[in-house]
Chain A
């Protein structure tokens, strides 16, 4: 029976891990390119979830249809929000500390707005695909003779994972193969130097802010498909996962964040089925502390000059 549970945990781990990977990658773009400690990242994600929820309730549309509008609208909102929020931080002596406080304020504000519009209850997101579930694997006689075990996954999770994988491929392609993506990575490596090659650092930063916001929003849509409920107070744990993932993966290292996200998700989900619940929740953070002790620049071990 352990075999079935373990496989079930592993599949869940990959689904959640891919979501954590996206959270980490988008947060990493924001922290790396902009030096903004985005404490409101969890609420950016939630806003995407609520957008999908509103489309479902208002128009009866499956959350999958929210992916494209959220990506476009959140990019534009993020691009604009950059100019309102961020440039004045750079006049401060301690832009990173100020950014943390500023984004903490934004986080509280967004929670208030979401609570105001949607009220404080946890709401189910009622939608389904046909078929509702897919049986990935049958383990014969798993529970004794004639009693087979099945590894079952909701179709919504498979669809979410597929969209997620496409996003990860697209993001990696953008950051490693296009000149604009390389300019963003260059800004992570040496922010002053991007200006001396003639890059308009405000336009680049606003684009990065928009990109990170768009990915966060789409992550929220996918999260509403994987965990079909929405909660205005669900943001802080998501931001926490994001920070854990970028520390594990290496600050300013987007691919490191992707690997770390999947690792964190798999460990968490497998531990949930194999260990007592409290111990399972602890394990991810034990890994975090171990990484900080033994590989302070992340699991890929690449130090990023600042």
Chain B
């Protein structure tokens, strides 16, 4: 491991940390252990990237933070509050939005109905719903054009933007993106990254899980490396910036897999 990468410190009270996992263990159906001690600190207003080889537990870490999976040990804290096992539907109201890796659209509903369901938590406030729709239509003109089209009939890239838009109608404080550019054309992928990079300037904290290490390093302010369900390293993006560090890291992953 390169010297510039350090294990996270345990200063839990440090200001600016909006979401964190501390020594989290979690398992599917009680027996398939996937996380064995994950430490993550998500800093307000930054893009935090989470990288690691296949099966490292990156997606599971996000799902656990979001409440789809309850930690067996350790703590998940959102804005200082312990949220272990709090239902996903409650996290939304706390300002946490999630765009999972698998497609999460309602394919047979229209673009607009997908967005309206995104406004579910404040559905009775029709003024706010209208304003939220108007706002995302400004951001994504293609969605306004296609608002009556069935979501499932749009291209992969457009569906990704719709998922992003549906998360943004909530005006979240934090958005978690799991592999946002998987299976998407390179040109659209670049647009998506440009958009993601803009989010902090709108006051939105970003957690980004990505297989594409190079891209993830390029857009992130802070990075975590997960492997075998545990945090192996973390550091500022600059520390990961040199290609040498990247190569060392990838070499280490390969070594693990050969072991």
Instruction: Give me the interface of A with B, judged by CB distance under 8 Å.
Output: 91, 93, 179, 182-183, 185-186, 189-190, 192-201, 302, 304-305
Contact = CB atoms under 8 A, between A and B. Distances in A.
Given A195-B89, A199-B89, A200-B87, A179 B116 contact: yes
Contacts of A192: 68, 100, 102, 104
A189 B100 contact: no
Given A182-B113, A198-B93, A189 B87 contact: no
A232 to B, nearest CB: 39
Contacts of B256: none
Contacts of B92: 196-198
Contact of B123 (A179, A190, A196, A302): A179
B120 A304 contact: no
A183 B89 contact: no
Contacts of B123: 179
A189 B151 CA distance: 12
B106 A185 contact: yes
Contact of A304 (B29, B66, B108, B116): B108
Contacts of A194: 117
Contacts of B102: 192
Contacts of B68: 192, 195
A190 B99 CA distance: 14
Interface size class of B (residues with CB under 8 A): 20 to 34
Contacts of A190: 103-107
Interface of B: 29, 66, 68, 87-89, 92-93, 97-100, 102-109, 113, 116-118, 120-121, 123, 152, 166-167, 170
B170 A198 contact: yes
B106 A189 contact: yes
Contacts of A91: 29
B108 A196 contact: no
Contacts of B118: 197
Contact of A198 (B89, B105, B113, B152): B89
Contacts of A197: 92, 117-118, 120-121, 166
A190 B102 CA distance: 10
Interface on chain A toward B: helix, strand, loop, or mixed SS?
helix
Given A197-B92, A197-B166, A182 B109 contact: yes
A196 B120 contact: no
Contact of A196 (B29, B93, B104): B104
B241 to A, nearest CB: 33
B87 A186 contact: no
A148 to B, nearest CB: 50
Contacts of A199: 89, 117, 120
A8 to B, nearest CB: 39
A91 B120 CA distance: 26
B180 to A, nearest CB: 14
Nearest to A193: B104
A305 B107 contact: yes
Contacts of B116: 179, 182
Contacts of A193: 100, 104-106
Nearest to A202: B87
A257 to B, nearest CB: 15
Contacts of A189: 106-109
Contacts of B120: 179, 183, 197-199
**Across chains A and B, which 10 residue pairs bring their CB atoms closest together, nearest first?**
A198-B92, A193-B104, A198-B121, A186-B106, A195-B88, A189-B106, A200-B89, A198-B120, A196-B98, A197-B120
A192 B118 CA distance: 14
Contacts of A302: 108
23 contacts: A91-B29, A93-B29, A179-B120, A182-B109, A182-B116, A182-B117, A190-B103, A190-B105, A192-B68, A192-B100, A195-B87, A195-B89, A196-B92, A196-B97, A196-B104, A196-B167, A197-B118, A197-B121, A197-B166, A198-B93, A199-B89, A199-B117, A305-B107
